Amino acid sequence: MLPSYSSIQPARRMTIPRRYIKVVVVDDEYEVRKAARGVLEKRPPIRVIAEATDADYGQIAIELQAPDVAVIEHEMHRVNGMELARRLRLLKLPVKLILLTSHTTEAVVNEALKAGFNGFVSKQHVAVELPRAVLAVSAGRTYIGSPYRRTWPRGARKDTLAIGH
């Protein structure tokens, strides 16, 4: 026997979770991680899902959490950010990488590009540029923070470039 229409309950409205940009922050300095988290979480589509104190823990967090973007400090103890980026690229993880550094030399930019970074943000401009960088690289663009514009390699592709400030 078929149920009567009066016994059929209307389906509950399904709420589809909003799409967040998931971020992992890797830096050996607590204050930098705290500042990065604070700045990023003020932007609604961005959510920091993990923090790591060094490259080894960063790799584990990135492998386990599968973020969209990882913000990685250049100079850390034992293993630096460039080496972590190389490891992640060898694993073919689909994470976008942003280098967080105080160095603005052309050599650092070139090394970071070779290591597989998608964006560069100076520690001095974290408050303004880090959210912009996360949004840009998650959309498939390369983000170049304002101090790095003058060091952008000649002849490098600029069609997918987002420039800070």
- The correct answer on CATH 3.50.30.30 for the domain covering 19-163 is no
Q: What is the pLDDT of residues 136-163, one digit of tens each?
A: 999 999 998 876 665 555 555 544 445 5
For 4-46, the pLDDT digits (tens) are 444 444 444 444 356 899 999 999 999 999 999 999 999 889 9
Would you give the end-to-end CA distance of the chain in angstroms?
69
Domain chopping of the chain, boundaries? 19-163
Task: Give the phi and the psi of residue 37 in degrees, each rounded to 5.
Answer: -60, -45
pTM exceeds 0.75, yes or no: yes
